[in-house]
Amino acid sequence: MYELDLPPVFEFKHRVLAAESAVARCDRTALPVDLLHTAWADRLIDAGFNPAQPTAWGVEGLLVYLTEEEAAGLLTTVGELSAPVSRLVLERGRSGQTVLDDPSVAHITSLWKGALGSRTADWLGDHGWHTRIHPLDAVADHYGRPTANPSGTGFITAVRGTSQALS
């Protein structure tokens, strides 16, 4: 498993994991990188990542903090590193225009730039991915968890370059 994040985020994670004596149950390579600069792809390959092999990408809690151009650039690089049948899962977030009416999270929502917003699945489809949208309320219901989903959030799963059914 390759984990990519900013250096200060890793410093925090490593402190917390060490305090809990947490140990990875797989081979884990932490790469401190800035995903806004395409050099991260070279660092990933230099660390042993093989773009000719199918992979699974998890992009969690990131895109909404990027502009549309930044998100498209990041996802373009992910696509270039993804062999056919590679998988991608990411949040189906709000657009930059959606604002939560909750002052307790304003310090977070004020950082949102919107990314591709509700057009993310279409963008992926136009760039070689076959997508499926999973509304948050349907996912919660599947796991027996209550939720209201007035904002249309949820998840997107995608498979690279294949018409294989998504499950």
DSSP secondary structure string for all residues of the chain: -EEEE-HHHHHHHHHHHHHTT---SS--EEEE--TTSTHHHHHHHHTT--TTS--EEEE-S-GGGS-HHHHHHHHHHHHHT--TT-EEEEEE---TT---S-GGGHHHHTT---TTGGGHHHHHHHTTEEEEEEEHHHHHHHTT-----TT--EEEEEEES--PPP-
Give the pLDDT of the chain (167 residues) as one tens digit per residue: 999 999 999 999 999 999 999 999 999 999 999 999 889 999 999 999 999 999 999 998 888 878 889 999 999 999 999 999 999 999 886 554 455 566 666 666 665 656 777 788 899 999 999 999 898 888 888 899 887 665 667 889 999 986 554 54
Degrees (nearest 5) of the Cα angle 8, 47, 80? 95
- pTM: predicted TM-score of the whole model, two decimal places: 0.82
How far is it, in rounded angstroms, from Cα 162 to Cα 58? 19
